[in-house]
Structure 1
Amino acid sequence: MATQLADYRHIFLNDVPMMDVRAPVEFGQGAFPGVINLPLMDDGERQQVGTCYKQKGQNAAVALGNQLVSGATKRARIEAWAHFARAHPVGALYCFRGGLRSQIVQQWLQNEAGIEYPRVMGGYKALRTFLIETTQAAASQCGFVVLGGLTGTGKTEVILQLANGLDLEGHANHRGSSFGHRVSAQPVQIDFENRLAIDLLKKRDRGYGSFVIEDEGRHVGSCSVPLELRQRLEQAPLVCLEDSFDARVERILHDYVVQQCADFVATHGEVQGTAMFGARLQESLGKLAKRLGGDRYQVLRTTMQNALLRQHSHGDPSLHRDWIAAVMRHYYDPMYAYQRQSRADRIVFQGDRSAVMDYLRESASADPVPLG
């Protein structure tokens, strides 16, 4: 009997290598970290087989599939699967429901390459359901502390130093503000949710029953925080990280200007990367135009453009401090002050980085802080 794996917890805790034999379009809609897409059928072949199935039934669809994936095409795909299987002898394969497609790949590997390779029982759908339930269970069973603070206080840096920290921005590949877009694209929503669920699973397996998570609201860029978790966080205790205005400006300058520009240049080259960085920065400021007001926005836009020119011509990013400070004073700080006032009853601690780190580490081994 062909081997099947059904221990989804083991698969994710141990980062079991997997090949996804669904079509590329399915893979792009959602997959799991580190998984390789080696499809049985490409998108066009899958569409033809699907149409045939609807019109003539399963037997005709299977026959068409065998016709489309034959000869040199079949040999090339078996070779790719065999290469993966030999490179990852403790891995597995899956299709959408662990049905016909993964069975065919499993059989062809056995018959044509002499490789017995397990498939995941229930396929992608079962794995995805397991991760959804993992997040739901954590939301209902675990304690959470939300780390808040003014823009630029370094909340993500604190999260990354905590063994029980959950880095939503890292999983979403976004810094969580209007200027938070990174060089590479954000994951699709399902991929974001899967990454978060696996992180929760691994941390709970290491014994953590409470987590510290950054105050992100409903979205991190285009990624939405899962509903059950978001509802839990809306009731969680709030710890506020504090830092001086000047230190916050410097941190924003480094993260959103100096490092971001370097990332664009490293990815796209000096000329194109610099141009793309400048365009992205101005686009981000444009998103705040209405809230800043027309006159203030025009002044800050000019200030930003001058800063970009100086940065490009002299390698000096210092002029960016002017628009950064103004955006913080007139937009981010007032917005945070309003939000903090509306949630004042949830604040259980506030302080600088050292004090906040000590508090969060001490509370990691204690019971979740109850609301009053």
Structure 2
Amino acid sequence: MPRNNSHDYKALFVNDTPLLDTRAPIEFNQGAFPLSQNIPLMTDDERAAVGTCYKQQGQSKAIRLGHQLVNGAVKAQRVAQWQRFCNSNPDGYLYCFRGGMRSQITQQWLKEVGIDYPFITGGYKALRRYLIDNIEIGAAMPSVVIGGNTGCGKTDLIKSLQNGIDIEGAAHHRGSSFGQYVTQQRTQINFENQLAIQIVKKLENRCQRFVFEDEGKTIGCASLPTAIRNAINQSDMVVIADSLDVRLERLIDEYIVKMQREHIQRFGEELGWTKFSDYLAQGLFKIRRRLGLERYASLVQIQQNAIDIMQSSGTITQHADWLVPLLEQYYDPMYEYQLNKKSARIIFKGSHKEVAQWLEPT
């Protein structure tokens, strides 16, 4: 039995529904949804030509040009790609930008080969509006913020909580100057979409209070939505106070061991080591002015020595020689200064385990 076109946006995201995005690649690359696959009706050049025709000669001639550009073997190839997607994802939906002409044409061409596949009413624009609205809803929920010095495991704790909102996971960036991953950070739109989908799912699971990490205005190159930033700046705080040794162990595992392994896996042995070395060097370079040039030059040399020893012998302990002064002389004083300005909002302070227990729902 054919399914109806959908306007139940919440169900699409809660159920992780596969989505066929028929927009042009340039539109998809600017922003899309986690489970969407781009199989466009028109390429970027074809879309541009049809758009120009529409502005100059009107809709009917633009539609005619579109059919001329996507015809014969070209049309057959694209329909075949859609068919494969539909057969692999029988419960999915298709969409274009507004749920208009491109969705209707795609749906009609699929019907011609025996597939009745529904599209999303309102298209990408309606889905995007729905997600933006849910960011506002999430920001208005009661919330608590987790703070603590670098290496306290704030993000790990957020991920372990049923009501935790993983902002850095949504941004695909860990927030610090060393926060980038091997793979590229998400676009601003994709960050917001990921963040909103988390909120939608938490609300569906009847979360009554959200837990955020103490974040600044930006996470890497992504800007935190104003409503979420305001919620973070106004909420009560719990602070993780772990020892330097415990934090150092976490940082070496996260930023040294795991990142070296991921670089090697992605780029191979030789190039992977080069990329890994560049990643650590760039992390220091980004904060060189705040460190002061003399201290920066010293840490660069110590860092490179630690990388050389790690590559030749597999020993990682020398990385403490630059991480400890970086924490003690830069990150910790900076964060303590910021935290002192928020002291009136702190309602609990303890170790990672104690904060986790305090945050457990009663």
> Normalization by structure 2: what TM-score?
0.98
Partner of 1:114: 114
Partner of 2:139: 139
The 5 A counterparts of 1:254-333 are: 254-333=253-332
Larger deviation, residues 31-40 vs 216-225: 216-225
Partner of 2:162: 163
Q: 1:153-182 CA distances to partner (integer Å, 9 max, x unpaired)?
A: 111121121111111111111111001111
Q: 1:24-44 CA distances to partner (integer Å, 9 max, x unpaired)?
A: 000001000110001000111
Partner of 2:128: 128
How far apart in 2 are the matches of 1:242 and 1:2? 54
Residue 36 of structure 1 aligns to a residue whose secondary structure is strand
Tell me, which stretches of 5 or more residues in structure 1 are unaligned? 366-372
Q: Displacement, 1:3? A: 3.7
Partner of 2:334: 335
Q: Displacement, 1:226? A: 1.0
How far apart in 1 are the matches of 2:89 and 2:276? 39
Q: 1:318-343 CA distances to partner (integer Å, 9 max, x unpaired)?
A: 11101000110111000011011101
Residue 234 of structure 2 aligns to a residue whose secondary structure is coil
Q: How many residues in Structure 1 have an aligned counterpart in Structure 2? A: 361
Call closer, same or farther: CA 1:2–1:248 in 2, change over 3 Å.
closer
How far apart in 1 are the matches of 2:222 and 2:276? 22
Q: 1:184-229 CA distances to partner (integer Å, 9 max, x unpaired)?
A: 0111011111111111111111110211111111111111111111
Partner of 2:199: 200
AA of the residue aligned to 1:186: Q
Partner of 2:59: 58
Q: Displacement, 1:89? A: 1.4
Partner of 1:40: 41
1:173 equivalent in alignment to 2:172? yes
Identity %, equivalent residues: 46
1:12 equivalent in alignment to 2:30? no
How far apart in 2 are the matches of 1:355 and 1:252? 20
How far apart in 2 are the matches of 1:46 and 1:76? 17
Residue 114 of structure 1 aligns to a residue whose secondary structure is coil
1:357 equivalent in alignment to 2:350? no
Q: Displacement, 1:2? A: 9.2
Larger deviation, residues 243-252 vs 178-187: 243-252
* Conserved? CA contact 2:17–2:35, under 8 Å: no
Partner of 2:81: 80
Residue 42 of structure 2 aligns to a residue whose secondary structure is coil
Residue 238 of structure 2 aligns to a residue whose secondary structure is strand
How far apart in 1 are the matches of 2:252 and 2:348? 27
Partner of 1:370: none
Partner of 1:220: 219
AA of the residue aligned to 1:82: Q
Moved over 4 A (4+): none
Residue 213 of structure 1 aligns to a residue whose secondary structure is strand
How far apart in 1 are the matches of 2:225 and 2:297? 37
Residue 97 of structure 2 aligns to a residue whose secondary structure is coil
Partner of 2:343: 344
How far apart in 2 are the matches of 1:2 and 1:348? 51
Call closer, same or farther: CA 1:198–1:63 in 2, change over 3 Å.
same
How far apart in 1 are the matches of 2:62 and 2:6? 27
How far apart in 2 are the matches of 1:230 and 1:322? 35
The 5 A counterparts of 1:11-30 are: 11-30=12-31
> Normalization by structure 1: what TM-score?
0.95
Tell me, which stretches of 5 or more residues in structure 2 are unaligned? none
How far apart in 2 are the matches of 1:28 and 1:275? 29
Q: 1:239-268 CA distances to partner (integer Å, 9 max, x unpaired)?
A: 000111111112111111111111100111
How far apart in 1 are the matches of 2:106 and 2:154? 46
Partner of 1:99: 100
